[in-house]
Amino acid sequence: MLDEFYIEELVKKKFPLKSASFPTGIGDDAAVFKIKSDKIVFSCDSQVEGVHFDLRFLTPEQLAFRALSVALSDLCAMGAKPRFFSNSLFLPKKTSKVFIDRLFKGFRNGCKYYDVDLIGGNVSKSESLALDVSVVGEVLNDRFKERNGSRVGDLIYVTGNIGDASLGLDLLKEKKRFTLKEKLIISKYKSPRAKVEIGLFLGQLEFLTSMIDITDGLSLDLRRLLGPISSRRGATLTWEDIPKTDCTLPPVSQNKLITSVMNGGDDYELLFTIKKKRAKHFEYLCKRNNFKVFRIGSVNSSATLSLIKGGRVRNLKPQGFVHKF
């Protein structure tokens, strides 16, 4: 029979932490940890079955790794270094020990990949499966980034392909067999990677004016980055400059590709703005440090979003994943 004591003992065995930076270890009422920075960054993120994921498409290992990656992505958007995380599990009555073992194998894989420590958590019975991951990071050199610092004239960049995760989920819903190219696209949905290294690099740049991770769709998160319409900040993007999958492999209609890129979400790439006069130096620094970035547009005073595609300008309505209650 699965119960909370089984899970607690499993975690103690698989995550045997007790060190100078984490003196209590797992199993106490709360975690005590030490960090060098005088500023810490905290975030939490929930993954709910039927809302954020479908177990038909994810293994327990992938679900746990994905949940951790999604939560850590928020720290990356602040330019912070991830250190610790805790998880709260909400488990249906039918949950098996095998499922739990595999779930924590996924968390352990995440610990190794991101060099972070699990410092505690909670478990509760629930009608549906849900994971809540809380993450703690630290700021380097007292520098961190926020969403709301962009100014008219700033240039807009992203760190990688946009729309692949959305296309990957569509493929999972539509097909059973996949080409190698399709499997690569699907992996962007199943196993997203938080952009830790480039996030730390970007977080130290004084001429980077704002940053956010692309969670709910490029157009919607760009609107969030620019602030409300009352801020009078808008943006123009150039379709040909936005990094995206080759739409001929697999074949994807232009309308579907545009929807996936602009509104799809789940990409967890970083979206940020740079002062225009420092753009050349910034791109030089990225090349020198082997970081790929893509300039996709600029901030203007229109208070609206627009997309240039094939020389023609179209208005963009911010759309993407929005929780509705």
Average pLDDT, 10 consecutive residues per value, the chain (325 residues) = 80 76 74 79 94 95 98 97 95 95 97 95 94 94 91 97 94 89 93 97 97 96 89 94 77 83 95 98 98 98 94 92 64
CATH 3.30.1330.10 for domain 4-138: yes
Cα separation, 216 vs 163, in Å, equals 11
Nearest to 300 by CA among 276, 279, 318: 276
pLDDT for 249 equals 54
> Among all chains, which residue has been given the structure tokens 């480039």?
198
pLDDT for 28 equals 73
Nearest to 145 by CA among 271, 292, 230, 305: 271
Nearest to 162 by CA among 251, 265, 249: 265
Q: How many CB atoms lie within 10 A of CB 221?
A: 23
pLDDT for 216 equals 93
Q: Which fold has domain 155-316?
A: Phosphoribosyl-aminoimidazole Synthetase; Chain A, domain 2 (3.90.650)
pLDDT for 116 equals 95
Q: Where are the domains of the chain?
A: 4-138, 155-316
Q: How many CB atoms lie within 10 A of CB 281?
A: 13
